[in-house]
Each structure stands twice: as structure tokens, then as C-alpha cells.
Structure 1
Amino acid sequence: MNNTSFQELKNHIKISDVAEYIGYRLNTGAGKKYLEYRLFNGSTKVDEIVIYTTSYSQTFFSRNGYGDKGDVVNFIMNRLHLFSGYQGFGYDAVADILCKLAGLDIIKHKNNVVLNNEAKFCLDDYSITCNLKIIYAYLGKIRQMDSSTISDFLKIGSVCTVSHKKNNYMNVAFPYRVLSNPDQVVNYELRNYNLHKQEGYKGFCSGGNKSTACWIASFAPKWNDVQSLYIGESALDMMALYQLLPERMRINAAFISLGGNLGYGQIKDIRKLFPNTVLYLAFDNDLQGHIYDVAAAYFFVKGKQPKIFRNSNGKVIVKLENQELEIKEEDFSSKVFLKSHRIEADWLHIIKAQGSKDFNEMLKKN
């Protein structure tokens, strides 16, 4: 069972079992078509969920609202503050919790949306090319990047085109690597846009490593020559940020994308690979981006993984060692929080897209 996949764990662990594990009580007076569970703080009801069961899975929604619904992964993700003793951030934390609940010591992390439990990533299954027409059409026309920016990333091998040999459909691709072994490609983030349907495509290669791998683009001669490292959620945002930066700030700079999630396995080796760098956290200018700021900064400065999460009541819960804080969502600012709690270093900075959610959006407005 030690090679059980993320998807298999989802299929074997019920939301109702997880709910009972963290203190929810079954309402036996509810209807027969669904299960109803309630969570109390003393005599005060703080949450009420409805669980629908099919022959193969369970889904839920919370009557507290806020879009709190989905499968067991969504249920755990939205309630990380109710768990203890887990490792990692985001989906890494969920995977660790699922693994512990299943009685396993090791989990093979996989992206449950893109992957299935049979898929294994193999570079030989893909044709890796550099179709400039597709690359410039997508990054230039759709994402509005300058040709010089696109060319700079092409030169260092940080963007290419990829197609699976079985279907030959070609996408713009960003290679993902593990920081402890950055010479090996273990996944590709895939992007494209269908002009006829007016819709975009975003995905990863089946079976590819996403939980501990990231996209790395370095403009320094060697890894340890990197002086400025920018960390964001998307390769597109980091390319846009590169274009927005003054020329002097691009010298010996590197850019990392975590693919939309923040996992401990993705960032734990950053200081080893880039020992002389100044870190710039460049996550999205939204609540999740501010949460990532605090989580990453605390890990880099303190060497420990915090528990930080937005609960179903619209509060940000932060657990730092011996203290637990509850902050209103509208009052939560990563810069203010980190400064007030003295989680700072002269080699660590936070930057945000001005007047936009992310740097690609900011670039389009300029």
C-alpha cells in the first residue's frame, strides 16, 4: 500500500469518517437522502454540512456558504485548522492527512485533477519541440508578452512545445524540476488557447511530479550565482514580472513557479540551490497569495511549517508554534502580519502586482 496514489486515497476515505474524526456529530434526524453533520464549539454550532453518497464517492456542501463544497480533498483543505501533526502546505498537507487517516507512512503525491492512479510520467512518451509559431502566438498575442521576453526564456530552455506521441496535440510547455536534482525534467505545465471556442487550456502531463517539483528559469551562469530569486504561482506571471522589471534587476535573476500551490517539498531546497540569493515572494495579490506569503516567509525565516488557513466563517486562522490567531479576511495583509510578528529578514521581500491580481494581468494593463 505504500505506493497508493492520491486518487486511490480519495476513493477509500469517506468525508463522513473524516468529519467524525475532527469532531462533527451526525444529525440522526436529517433526511434519508443525505447525511447531515454538525460541528459545535461548546453549545454553539459553528458548521453544518450535508453529505451526498453515491456508489463510488461522497460529496458535501456546508450550509455556512462561502463556496465550501466538493470532495474529501476540499473538505480537508477548508478545515486544515482542525487537524494537527500534518506536514506541508496546501495539497501536500491534505495528502499527508489522507495518508495518516489511511494508516500509511508514505504517499505518492499526485495531482488528483489531472492524473489518474495508473498514469506514470515518462519523457519518452512525449515529443519535445520548439514550435515558435505556437509559442509566440500564445505568449505574444494571448498573454501580450514582448518578443524579446519570449526569446530570453527560449534561450535558457524554460519554455518549449510538447505533444503526447499518441495524440500529437501540441501545447506550450514549461518544464518542471525538483530542486534537489534540477537537471532532470519530471513534468510539464501545459498551456494553450482555442480562438474558436474562446477558452484557455491549463494542465500538466499525466503522472508528472507536481507536489515537489517547480518551474525554474535562471539567467545566472550557475545556480549559486543567482542573486535575486522571484517565487510565484504561475510561469506566465513570472515571465510577465521579468518583462516588468528594470533591466538591472534581471541580471543574475531566477524565477520559480509553484504551479498554483505551495508545497513544502517544492521550496525546502531553495536555500541550498540558491545560497547567495535575495528572495522575492511574488504570489498573487489576493487572499491566497497573502497566505502563501506568510507560510513561505515563516518557513524560510524560522525553518518551521506554520498552519495557516481561511475557515468557512471567513476568518484566517494562523498557528505559529505556541500561538493561534484569528484574523478577519479583509484585515489580513501578509506584509503587516509578518512585520508585526517580526518574521523578517534582510534577504526576504514581498512584492505584489499593482492594481491587479497577478503580474500577467498587470502587464496586460500597461
Structure 2
Amino acid sequence: MTKFDELKKRFPNLIPVQELRSNVSIVELAIHYGYLLKLNKGKARPVLENVSYNDVILIKNARDASQQVYQRVGNFTDSGTIINFIRNRLSTVFSKFNRSGEDEFKNIVNVLYDYLRIDPEQVNLNQVATSLLIERSSKSAFSLDLFDIRPLEKDNYLGTRRIRSETINSPEFIHRIATQITYFDPQIKQVVDFKEVKATPSYPLILFSNVAFPYYDGVSIEVTGLELRNENSKLHAPGSDRTMSVFMSNPPPKAEQFFILESAIDALSHKQLRQMRGDNVFNSMYFSTGGQLTPEQVNTITRYINASTKASNWRINLAFDNDVKGHVYDLQFIQQLLVTKFPLRVISVGLHTIGYALPIQEAYSLFRKDLLDRIEAYNKTISHPSFIPKSSDTTDTINFLITIDQINDQLTLSIPEVNLPLSYLSKSLLELSGLNKRICVSKSTTKDFNQDLQQEILKMDEQRN
């Protein structure tokens, strides 16, 4: 007897959605439809990849199907329950169930029903693979006591990135950065836990120093993780909370500027560039997301900003890297802040493309029309023969157009993962929502602010010589 037959006996008319969620694991469904286990990834959460659709997802609450949620790596807005997982892939992974003219939710339910009807032996195989993935994804809790943390050494890795001691000891960053010591046993050629070192202090070991950036989650005052950097590696300490936590600078007495960047080194570099240009005012707060961006991190940052004492003219500067990923983060950050003004829903539209379904309610009609008018004007400009992109690539090799499609009553946008259209859409959303009064996109000249800093220092050195 299939699981579908069992449920139909209990619920002859309609199987409740919660029962469907409890009986179909996202991991199982993904494996059944061609996703492969990434055994070298996801020490904290299971990770799966569908190579055909360039789709990598991580799973939270992997042990409990009823509480399971997913997140697409690199696109935090593509996340949620198994319902969201299917809905956002009706045009790709589950396209055979995407029947034109049918109610969307009915198509989603048909995917779940189909899986519940498969041979129980196949279900068992999927569950074995699921168990393998979950067993190796047990997350250890973070505790600062497990690490040897010391005041930042005078000669440290930041010097190789041209960060000066004056910047490290500025009001923004003083006491915010530390040294973490790693102990290596040359006999067994392995790192030794600090707990074991404390128990046997005379143990002959080799010591290595890392620069440690502490992370905070905006809820407690405790350190919730560590980003560790040296010349050879960039990693996070075991147990670090990377989902919710961020690195942050000391808050000024009255903040005028909030800068949100991908790395703590970029934050230090931005501050140093300001110092080099004569701006030494302590009026800014810096946040680093550690090379990623999650919805929980957006919430944490906004929580800190809301709790800060602010000047009347305060602003948020989205200063993610000046590359495709950085522009995607701009758009994702803005989208999350727009949830009440103009809720965009992520959909899957293909490789190297970001898809959004526009809200169809009448309350959003004016915003929707203005946005579509802007996109049509943008596409007209891009399509003109005189258009020359600010790139070494040409329009023959890169698609710059934002595609507008309509499926039944639903309008969708397809944005190529290219700087220009991503930047244009971010700017349009900020202006149409009025968020541009408080939020702006602030990009480095090169890929990131540390590269800008190194170029600026090189230029000054050349001028001296």
C-alpha cells in the first residue's frame, strides 16, 4: 500500500496540507527528482544540487518533515516550505505538472500526490539517502570558551591587506577584532582542540595565529560565531551561527551612516579610505555579512539599526561587492524591506536568471504599472543600436534585457544575472517605494573596497617616488 492510499483512508475527501508536509520530506522529493547529495558541503545543514537547473539548496530542520524548510544558495528569497519549493520550480523541475489553465495550488498538490503514489520500495531508497545526509549534518553549538582568544597581535594578517593600526584602533573598530590561536600537533599532523590543550599545557605543539572577527545575532550580547582569516584560509569557527549573525563595528553616539558590506576587511578598508580623504568623524556603523546574505541577517541588521541612536539625516548604504553577486545582494536586501510596500515573490525561471512574480492585488496596481513602464523604457534603451554596455563583453554575448511575461493573471520578471539590469531594478524599486530617502547603493570602484584601498595606496606610493 502506498502512502497516498494510507492517507486517503484517513482523509477520503481532501488530504490536509499539513499532512502532506508531514509525509513528504523536501530532501526525499528533491532526491527523487534528480538532486544529488553534496557530501562535501553542509556541515551544519544538508545541501543538495540539481546540476541540470544549476539549483543548490540547503535544508533546515532536516530531521522533521513537518518543520522542514529550504533555502536556495545565493538567493535567500527562494526559500520556505515544501509548498514554496515546488511552486518556485513549476516551470523547471516540476514542469510536467505545470498544467496551463489549472489553479497553481492544484498543480503543487499534484506533485505531492504523485510522490505519495510511488512504489514504497523507492520511497525507502530515498529515505536511506536522506538519513545519510542528515546523520553527517549534526551541528555543534558555538561556545567562545572552546577557542583561545587573545588581544589582536601587533603584527597580524590585516597588515598584508594594507589595513593600518590607526584604522584598527579607530573608534569604530577598537576592541572589535582579536587574535585566535590554533594548535597543531606535528606528530599526528592534526589540529588539537583548545580544550585538550588546556588540560595538558606542556603538550609540544605549533601555534598559528588567525585574525578573529566576532559575530552577533542582534538578540543576545553573547558572541555567536567567529570569522577567522589568515594568509592561507578564510573560514568560520565550528558552530558559528552564519544564518542570523553578522560582524559589526562599535556604534557611534549618533549614527548618520550605516554601511553593509560582504566582509569585515572591506569594512576596515572603507573606513581607512575615508581617513585618507580627511574624514575622521565617528558617525558611522559598519556591518559585514561574511560573504553571504540571508533573510535572517537582514533582520538582524535592521534590528541593530532600529535600536541605534540616529541623526535626523541617517542613511543605509548597501556596499556589497561591485560584481554580480553584490548586485544580487542589493536586490535581495531591498526586496525584503519592500514586503509591505510591494511584495515580490521569487520564482524559478532558468539558469543565471532571477525571477519574480509581481503582486496582482489592486492595492499595488500603481506601483506595478510604474515599475513596468520603467522596465519597458530601460529595455528600449538597451535595444537601441547606439547602446554600448559598460563592460568588455558585448550585447552579442550577454543579455541585458529584463523580460516581462504574463501567465494567466500573473505578471513575472526575468532578470539576467548581469550588473546593469540588476542595478537598474534595485534603483527603480528604491525610487518607486520612497526607500531611496533612507537607502542607497554605494559601490566600490573595483571589485571591493579592499582592492580600492590597495590601488589608492599604490597610487600614493608612485606619486611619492
Q: TM-score range by the shorter chain?
A: 0.5 to 0.7
State which structure, 1 or 2, has the greater radius of gyration over its C-alpha atoms.
Answer: 2
Return the offset for 1:90: 4.7
Q: Of 198, 206, 209, which aligns to 1:170?
A: 209
Structure 1 pair 126–313 and aligned structure 2 pair: CA distance change class (3 A): closer
Q: Of 267, 270, 295, which aligns to 2:332?
A: 295
Structure 1 pair 296–248 and aligned structure 2 pair: CA distance change class (3 A): same
Q: Could you tell me how far apart the structure 1 residues matched to 2:237 and 2:30 are? A: 30
Q: Could you tell me how far apart the structure 1 residues matched to 2:426 and 2:142 are? A: 39
Question: How is 1:231-310 mapped onto 2 (pairs within 5 angstroms)?
Answer: 231-245=260-274, 246-248=277-279, 250-268=281-299, 269-274=303-308, 276=310, 277-303=314-340, 306-307=344-345
Q: Of 167, 175, 186, which aligns to 2:224?
A: 186
Report SS of the residue matched to 1:220: coil
- Please tell me whether residue 137 in structure 1 is matched to residue 156 in structure 2: yes
Greater fraction helix: 2
Q: Of 46, 51, 54, which aligns to 1:62?
A: 51
Contact 2:47 2:58 in 1 (8 A): no
- Please tell me whether residue 324 in structure 1 is matched to residue 324 in structure 2: no
Question: How is 1:1-366 mapped onto 2 (pairs within 5 angstroms)?
Answer: 17-18=29-30, 62-63=51-52, 68=54, 73=58, 90=74, 96-97=80-81, 117-133=138-154, 136-141=155-160, 143-152=161-170, 156-163=174-181, 165=194, 166=196, 169-181=208-220, 183-193=221-231, 200-221=232-253, 225-245=254-274, 246-248=277-279, 250-268=281-299, 269-274=303-308, 276=310, 277-303=314-340, 306-307=344-345, 312-322=350-360, 323-330=411-418, 332-341=420-429, 342-343=432-433, 344-354=435-445, 356-366=446-456
Report SS of the residue matched to 2:249: strand
Return the offset for 1:201: 0.7
Q: Could you tell me how far apart the structure 2 residues matched to 1:317 and 1:278 are? A: 29
Q: Could you tell me how far apart the structure 2 residues matched to 1:186 and 1:172 are? A: 16
Instruction: Point out the more displaced range, 91-100 or 170-179.
Output: 91-100
Contact 2:416 2:422 in 1 (8 A): no
Q: What amino acid does structure 1 have at the position aligned with 2:316? A: L
Report SS of the residue matched to 1:228: strand
TM score, norm. by length of structure 1:
0.65
TM score, norm. by length of structure 2:
0.52
RMSD, matched Cα? 3.9
- Residues 293-341 of structure 1 deviation map (CA, whole Å, 9 limit, x = unaligned): 1121233355577455886433222345345211233364444213334
Count of aligned pairs between the two proteins: 286
Contact 1:290 1:333 in 2 (8 A): no
Return the offset for 1:347: 1.2
Contact 1:88 1:265 in 2 (8 A): no
Return the offset for 1:161: 0.9
- Residues 102-147 of structure 1 deviation map (CA, whole Å, 9 limit, x = unaligned): xxxxxxxxxx9xx9515221121122211424xx431012x11123
Return the offset for 1:273: 2.2
Return the offset for 1:100: 8.7
Contact 2:172 2:282 in 1 (8 A): no
Q: What amino acid does structure 2 have at the position aligned with 1:358? A: D
Return the offset for 1:59: 6.4
Contact 2:215 2:247 in 1 (8 A): yes
Instruction: Point out the more displaced range, 270-279 or 210-219.
Output: 270-279
Return the offset for 1:158: 1.5
**Percent identity between the two aligned chains:** 24
Q: Could you tell me how far apart the structure 1 residues matched to 2:47 and 2:267 are? A: 37
Contact 2:57 2:70 in 1 (8 A): no
Structure 1 pair 16–202 and aligned structure 2 pair: CA distance change class (3 A): same
Structure 1 pair 346–170 and aligned structure 2 pair: CA distance change class (3 A): same
Report SS of the residue matched to 1:121: coil
Return the offset for 1:259: 1.1
Q: What amino acid does structure 1 have at the position aligned with 2:58? A: V
Q: Could you tell me how far apart the structure 1 residues matched to 2:146 and 2:266 are? A: 28
